[in-house]
Amino acid sequence: MTTPSHSGVSVTGESSEDRAINVYFAERKEGFWFSPRLLEFVDHVPGTEVSLKGIPKKWVRQVSGEWKEIDIPDENKSQ
């Protein structure tokens, strides 16, 4: 997301708000800036997982779009 009046990007569509959202098209290998009024949110991709090396946690995307933090058992700790 950007503010076109500050970033100078070319925006498809008109917006009374000074906002634009970039949509990347993999097939074309390029992105375009659109007025939020032209876009419809489709999916948060629930189930997406993010983890960081050395951090005993992972974050899982929920249907609501929120991230749920989950502790990962440390397999290196002796029992």
Q: What was the pLDDT predicted at 11?
A: 95
Q: Please write down the HEC assignment for all residues of 15-54.
A: CCCCCEEEEEECCCCEEEEECHHHCCCCCCCCCCEEECCC
Q: What was the pLDDT predicted at 5?
A: 94
* pLDDT single digits (tens) 11-64: 999 878 899 999 999 999 999 999 999 999 888 999 999 999 999 999 999 999
Residues 6+ positions from 63 with CB-CB distance below 8 Å: 44, 46
**By three-state DSSP, how is residue 4 classified?**
helix
Is 0.85 surpassed by the pTM of this model?
no
* pLDDT single digits (tens) 50-74: 999 999 999 999 999 999 999 998 7
